[in-house]
Structure 1
Amino acid sequence: MTSALELHGTPHVDRYLETNGEDGYHWRNGTTILLLFTKGRKSGEQRTHALIFRPWGDGSYLVVASKGGNDVAPAWFLNLEADPAVEVQVKGDRFAARARVATPEEKPGMWAEMVSAWPDYDEYQKKTSREIPVVVLERV
């Protein structure tokens, strides 16, 4: 069986769901993973993504829409722009949330927190002229 540290995409999501995050919550370089459930903006079907996150404030979570520094935003980000009502799962806790982009005033501190989780985010930003957003997931 492949270690969860080596998983990406659908296999990572599947393992996380099967084990309520026991296998898949902890990932590479000490990072932690949540699952983000969005509604496909074209298909209307549920889409699930395993994303590096950090807790923020009282019950919110931060994720970064980096796509490795690609000039195009990740599909999950485009989905939540179309419909910010999402679901989030952290280990076995699945809940409704509202997604929003960090304000210009909030972003520096939030970006620093996310870079502490995954230093490559700074490198990803250097690779693209697109401003990589920090997304705040607020429990509703």
Structure 2
Amino acid sequence: MSDKSIPNPITRRVVNFVHEHRQAYLETGGAKGHILDIRASGGRSFATHCLIRYRGRKSGKTMITPLTYADIAGEVAIVASKGGADEHPSWYLNLTAADRIDFQIATQAFRATWREPEGAERQKVWDFLVDCHPFYANYQKRTDRRIPVVLMLGVEEIPVFQPGDIA
């Protein structure tokens, strides 16, 4: 994707940042990219990030997306916020069409199952995530949709992701 295909300069910077972040994470096997200072975007100075790897539900292509995460009782919690947009992010739509997902945290990767918590459990997870990553509260205020929360449970250790994994 060329920079000119992204009309908004702020969106362009975000897309470039995400691409560079993913590349650094992949090229170093997770030695870089796990911890980032994201205070400029409303986050914390020591924010944790994982990579998720999934298949496109329409394209069948392998995709990798960096996301902030939190560990909750041995499950990895991620948020389908898309910055508070009114539509779900593509990665979430692809995930909901699949039985499993792969994730990488720093230098370890796992095949995983996933689920969406409901009721009181979801509220507890959401509150914890907002405490870890305060910008999620602002994202929720921007949209009428209920931002999904996903919990992943690693079931098998696998090799770390590689730049060539992206289709």
TM-score by shorter chain over 0.5 = yes
CA distance in 1, matches of 2:120, 2:62: 32
Structure with greater Cα Rg: 2
In the alignment, does 2:47 pair up with 1:38?
no
In the alignment, does 2:90 pair up with 1:81?
no
In the TM superposition, what is the alpha-carbon distance from 1:38 to its structure 2 partner? 1.0
Question: For 1:57, which of 61, 69, 73 is the aligned residue?
Answer: 73
Aligned residue for 2:31? 22
Q: Residues 62-107 of structure 1, C-alpha deviation per residue, up to 9 Å, x if partnerless?
A: 0110001000000000000001311000011111011221212211
What letter matches 1:137 in structure 2?
M
Query: CA RMSD, aligned part only?
Result: 1.2
Structure 2 counterparts to residues 1-140 of structure 1, below 5 A: 8-27=17-36, 28=38, 29=44, 30-58=46-74, 60-140=75-155
Moved more, 112-121 or 69-78: 112-121
Partner SS for 2:130: helix
| 11 and 84 in structure 1: CA distance in 2 versus 1, 3 angstrom threshold | farther
What TM-score results when the alignment is normalised by the length of structure 2?
A: 0.76
Q: Which runs of 4+ in 1 moved over 6 A?
A: none
Listed as ranges, the gaps of 5+ residues in structure 2 are: 1-15, 39-43, 156-167
What TM-score results when the alignment is normalised by the length of structure 1?
A: 0.90
Provide the aligned length of Structure 1 versus Structure 2.
133
Listed as ranges, the gaps of 5+ residues in structure 1 are: 1-6
Partner SS for 1:44: coil
